[in-house]
Chains A and B, each alone.
Chain A
């Protein structure tokens, strides 16, 4: 059974297309990820599903209800975390949860929620005194306050240090285990790979593909990447042509990455290229494709470049 059905959804701001004719479904009990760089239209898509924005065209059904006409009923049954973790000043964690609980017909006791997100010791702490990771966990607790069947998380781990991110991932997995459906957006590959049952790849207002992380990678079967460091700055266009690779990309520091179907050929061409241009290569290796490469193959650009 589909919890969310999006059919030819578009959202325009004047002439700007924030979301352009996208369609997808979310199944009950899964973690569905929308992966894409900033400005791809992920947040706008979520906000239409949450009833915060009205669509320009298309049909959207959430929990079997139409977002245009039945948004009040939908709001009772969904949990929402927005990109900016916004709380009222001068309220403690417990008071914040009590307050938001009072907006719903049915709500979970604050103590239980704090327990769930391991914030019990902070019950009496003012929200402004929480750390970044604690604020994110509180805002997830806030999204759980009405015992929702469906939860939207908009970039839940952005700006967190690796340890806090790891902790949040565990929390999200534990929420899925209670049978809830989760839709999240992210621009972190490893997050989508670790958390999501299915991923929609979104770029420039369009959805490029929807599949499981493994399924997406499998589509790149036979695709490898050749990575190396160089002592000179290289022109990506030249490099791409000289090595007969699909794309040449600059990773970070002075590391370059070439996507190729034929790693043997690319490797040989690269060595020739290096010899002819008097380039000293180091740390040369071939590796399997990741979700990052999937993204690259669909959009022609790296997520990290943004």
Chain B
């Protein structure tokens, strides 16, 4: 017990451990979060409403409710100036012509709004009629001007607006469907990159902390002769390992709590998992990586060799283990490699638990693979571990 206390103390005083297990993952999260937030979060869209109709007001109101869009309403001139200055992804102009449809009962109204896309460039603005289907009634064109340099963002916005207008047409045609739009918006919020990234980063930092932390720590102790000195005391060697594992797991739990809080509070990630299920998966996976660290410490001859060795193991896993992008998006020949790595299953299990609220039973395959890896590691470590 006092060994555990002392070991925790040592770990907390070791700034290197704290850096790699806490600040590094947070830094990674901040970096990736910021890098991808541009395409998955908010778009600045200007709306110039020239119509005074009820329906145009409703359009603006509804668009404002779309989470992904930040709507501003200035004069046409001002909005185009902003567009030119690069402060808007797109500017939508609702023409005067748009009038409230008079709905004769039973008759489908044909007052369809058409989306007219036009490129807007700093030098020359050109308009381009995209669609000119002839509706039963005269269509009203909503002009959509976008920033050519942000064409990717603009196409996302255009899709959102198109979908929206499509819904609107339906609404005009049939019953109000505003609820549906709300739901659609909610769904897109669910698919943020950070929700994919957070469990992956968590798995990554558990792996790094486990493998690098234990491997370096124990190799250093052995090289300096501390292990040998411990062996000269009546201390049970098993106690030494148990203390190491509990210390690291404590660090892992604190680390995960901080990372998840930060991910949820600062980056808008979601945590749908059951806390106990999550903690179980976490401790299970972290222990497997700790065993890997022990294998490294057993195989390595010195501190100089243990570092490159653990890097050689962790780095490929980092990129192939489904931390930053889904395995399905990798080349087909690489996918079997990924499916053999323990990190793949760790990040998958954490992801399922965190974003889908999966139960232990649902991630049993992941846990089983991790368990097999853990057993393999344990057998190797038990066979080759040396005290000096």
Q: Among residues 57 to 101 in chain A, which have CB atoms less than 8 Å away from a CB atom of chain B?
A: 72, 75-76, 80, 82-84, 86-91, 95, 98-100
B3 touches A99 (CB 8 A): yes
Which residues between 105 and 157 of chain A lie within 8 Å of chain B, taking CB atoms?
105, 142
- Complex Cα spacing A104 to B230, Å: 12
Check if A84 sits within 8 Å of B9, measured CB to CB. no
Which of B10, B231, B234 contacts A88, CB < 8 Å? B10
* B residues in contact with A52, CB < 8 Å: 228, 231-232
* CB–CB B9/A76 < 8 A: no
Q: A14-43 toward B: CB 8 Å interface, digit per residue (1/0)? A: 000000000000000000000000000000
| CB pair B6 A86 closer than 8 Å | no
B6 contacts which of A75, A95, A104 (Cβ < 8 Å)? Answer: A95
In the complex, what distance in Å separates the CA atom of A87 from the CA atom of B2? Answer: 16
Given A89-B10, A90-B10, A90-B14, decide whether A102 and B229 contact each other with a Cβ distance below 8 A: no
0/1 string, B1-14, CB within 8 A of A gives 1: 11100100111011
Partner of A72, one of B224, B228, B234: B234
* Residues of B contacting A91 in the complex (Cβ-Cβ under 8 angstroms): 6, 9-10
Nearest CB in chain A: distance from B342 CB, A: 30
Taking residues whose C-beta sits less than 8 angstroms from the other chain, chain A's interface range is 20 to 34
- Distance (Å) between the CB of B228 and the closest chain A CB? 6
Q: Chain A residue with minimal CB distance to B220?
A: A89
In the complex, what residue of chain A is closest to B10 when comparing beta carbons?
A90
Given contacts A95-B6, A95-B9, contact A103 B234 (CB under 8 A): yes
Please tell me if the beta carbons of B228 and A103 are within 8 angstroms of each other in the complex: no
Q: How large is the interface on B (under 10, 10 to 19, 20 to 34, 35 or more residues)?
A: 20 to 34
Residues of B215-239 at the interface with A, using a CB-CB cut-off of 8 Å, are: 221, 224-226, 228-235
- Complex CA distance for A76 and B236, rounded to whole angstroms: 12
Q: A99-B2, A99-B6 are in contact. Are A88 and B226 (CB under 8 A)?
A: yes
Instruction: Given A89-B10, A90-B9, check contact A102 B226 (CB 8 Å).
Output: no
CB <8 Å contact, B13 and A104: no
Whether the pair B229, A82 counts as a contact (CB closer than 8 A) is yes
| CB nearest to A105 among chain B residues | B234
Q: Tell me the complex Cα distance, A83–B1, Å.
A: 28
Give Cα A38 to B185, complex, Å.
Answer: 77
Residues of chain A contacted by B235 (CB below 8 angstroms): 103
Would B10 and A86 count as touching, CB distance under 8 A? no
Q: Please, which residues of chain B bring their CB within 8 A of the CB of A72? A: 234
Chain A residues, Cβ within 8 Å of B6: 88, 91, 95, 98-99
Q: Is the Cβ of B232 less than 8 Å from the Cβ of A50? A: yes
Cβ contact of B225, chosen from A86, A89, A98, cutoff 8 A: A86
Checking A50, A80, A90, A100 against B13 with a beta-carbon cut-off of 8 angstroms, the contacting residue is A90
Whole-angstrom distance between the Cβ of A108 and the nearest chain B Cβ: 14
When chains A and B are docked, how far (Å) is the Cα of A87 from the Cα of B9? Answer: 14
In the assembled complex, the CB of A110 is this many whole angstroms from the nearest CB of chain B, namely: 12
Select the residue from A72, A80, A83, A88 with max chain B CB neighbours within 10 A: A88
Q: Please name the residue on chain A nearest to B17 by beta carbon.
A: A90
Please report which residues of chain B, range 1-53, place their CB below 8 angstroms from some CB of chain A when the two chains form the complex.
Answer: 1-3, 6, 9-11, 13-14
Question: Hey, which chain A residues are within 8 Å of B10, CB to CB?
Answer: 88-91
Q: How far is the CA of A95 from the CA of B2 in the complex (A)?
A: 10
| 8 Å CB contact of B234 from A75, A84, A90 | A75
Asked if A84 and B231 sit within 8 Å, CB to CB, the answer is: no
In the bound complex, CA of A293 to CA of B229 (Å): 35
Question: Which residues does chain B contribute within 8 Å of A142, judged by CB atoms?
Answer: 229
**Contact, CB under 8 Å: A103 / B226:** no
CA distance A15 to B235 in the complex (A): 32
Within 8 A of B (CB), among A187-245: none
Q: A86 touching B234 by the CB < 8 A rule? A: no
Chain A residues contacting B9 (CB-CB under 8 Å) are 90-91, 95
Residues of A within 8 A of B225 (CB): 82-84, 86
- Interchain CB contact under 8 A, B234 and A102: no
- Contact check, A103 vs B233: say whether CB atoms are below 8 A apart: yes
Most buried by B among A84, A87, A99, A142: A99
Given contacts A87-B226, A89-B10, A90-B10, contact A102 B3 (CB under 8 A): yes
A102 and B232 contact, CB distance less than 8 A: no
Q: How far is the CB of B236 from chain A (nearest CB, A)?
A: 9
Q: Please report the C-alpha to C-alpha distance between residue A142 and residue B229 in the assembled complex, in whole angstroms.
A: 10
Q: Is the CB of A104 within 8 A of B232?
A: no
Closest residue of chain A to B15 (Cβ to Cβ) is: A90
Compute how far the CA of A91 lies from the CA of B221 in the bound complex, rounded to whole angstroms.
Answer: 14
Kindly state the separation between the CA atoms of A82 and B234 in the bound complex, as whole angstroms: 15
Cβ contacts under 8 Å, B234 to chain A: 72, 75-76, 103-105
Q: Which of B224-261 contact A (CB under 8 A)?
A: 224-226, 228-235
Closest to A75 in B: B234
B29 to chain A, nearest CB (A): 27
Query: Would you give 21 A-B contacts (Cβ < 8 Å), ordered by A?
Result: A52-B231, A75-B234, A80-B229, A80-B233, A82-B225, A82-B232, A86-B225, A86-B228, A86-B229, A87-B226, A90-B9, A90-B10, A90-B11, A90-B14, A91-B9, A95-B6, A100-B233, A103-B233, A103-B235, A104-B233, A142-B229
Residues of A bordering B, CB below 8 Å: 50-52, 72, 75-76, 80, 82-84, 86-91, 95, 98-100, 102-105, 142
A-B pairs, 3 with minimum CB distance: A90-B13, A86-B225, A102-B2
